[in-house]
Amino acid sequence: MVATLTNRPISRKASPLSEPRVGVLSVVGTPIGNLQDLAPRAIETLKTADLIACEDTRHTGMLLRRHGIQTPCVSLHEHNERARTPGLLEQVRSGRSVALVSDGGTPLISDPGWWLVHEAIAAQVPVRWIPGPAALIGGLVLSGLPTDRFVFEGFLPAKAAARRRRLETWKEEGRTVVFYESPHRLLKTLRDIRDVLGDVPMACARELTKMFEEIRRGTASELFAHFEQHPPRGEFVIVLSRRQQEERSLA
């Protein structure tokens, strides 16, 4: 069901005693592929919310139906987030519970929601986090590379010159670097990494939590050679580390 932000009567749903009685904005993590990865607390939050703000109402609708959740949805995506935010915050101020989800994973992480949360905090509207998956964490923990200090770079610039400039900034980076990449840019990015950073140890995590989940570990050259033979498909997290082997054994 798609809701409008206006003319909706205040109808607080019954909620367990542990749930807050004032309105709240809940940032809810959702699966990154496997629909069973929706946490019980996320299900409860989505069921008891008055409204769910989501990127794509049809996409989120599938997840909600799978879990028997009938809460109305309203779209919140990169093109309407600023316009939608005042109305959503007004809903919370008037005592309603609004849940924010994205198409997959944790909202705000290379996904919409930052402006909404930023404005909620500025307006002293209560915000809480209902944890769920984030692809960057899956890629990092399965990479085999050091996890004690890491930096997340989101998506790299699509244009070659800007992408290479970004890679240049990692030349002195001692932390493990995690980023997202689209399958059609993967080969170009691996080639640029090899050219700019040399043969650093890396991992490409593909289709995490899904049927064709795959982790490939190796140097930039090895991974380039593999994906030249096996054209990349699906969603990717890329991880690399410039730290020396001896340092890593001490981490």
Strand order across the 127-130 sheet? 73-75, 51-54, 97-100, 24-28, 127-130
Binders of ligand SAM among residues 212 to 251 (CB under 6 A) are: 235-237
Residue the block writes with tokens 């919370």: 92
For ligand SAM, which stretch binds (CB under 6 A), given 101-109, 122-130, 186-194, 219-227? 101-109
Spatial distance between the Cα atoms of 186 and 205, rounded to a whole number of angstroms: 12
218: tokens are 């190796």
Residue 185 or 248 with smaller CB distance to ligand SAM? 185
Query: For residue 51, what is the DSSP state?
Result: E
Residue 136: closest CA among 146, 119, 151: 151
CA dist 103 → 18, 106, 112, 115, 149 (Å):
28, 9, 10, 17, 28
Percent of residues in the chain assigned helix, strand, coil, to nearest 5:
35, 20, 40
Least Å from the CB of residue 153 to ligand SAM: 11
Q: Which residue number, 23 or 46, has a Cβ lying nearer to ligand SAM?
A: 46
Binding mask 41-80 for ligand SAM (x = CB under 6 A): ----------------------------------------
Nearer to ligand SAM, 180 or 224 (CB): 180
Q: Which residue is nearest to ligand SAM (CB)?
A: 105
Classified as helix, coil or strand, 218 is: strand
Using CB under 6 A as the binding criterion, the count of chain residues that bind ligand SAM stands at 23
Does the footprint of ligand SAM cover residue 187 (CB under 6 A)?
Answer: no
Q: Is 210 in the site for ligand SAM (CB under 6 A)?
A: yes
Token duo for residue 163: 């992408």
Stretch that binds ligand SAM, among 82-90, 91-99, 176-184, 196-204 (CB under 6 A): 176-184
**Residues that bind ligand SAM in the complex, under the rule CB under 6 A:** 32-33, 102, 104-106, 109-111, 134-136, 180-182, 205, 207-210, 235-237
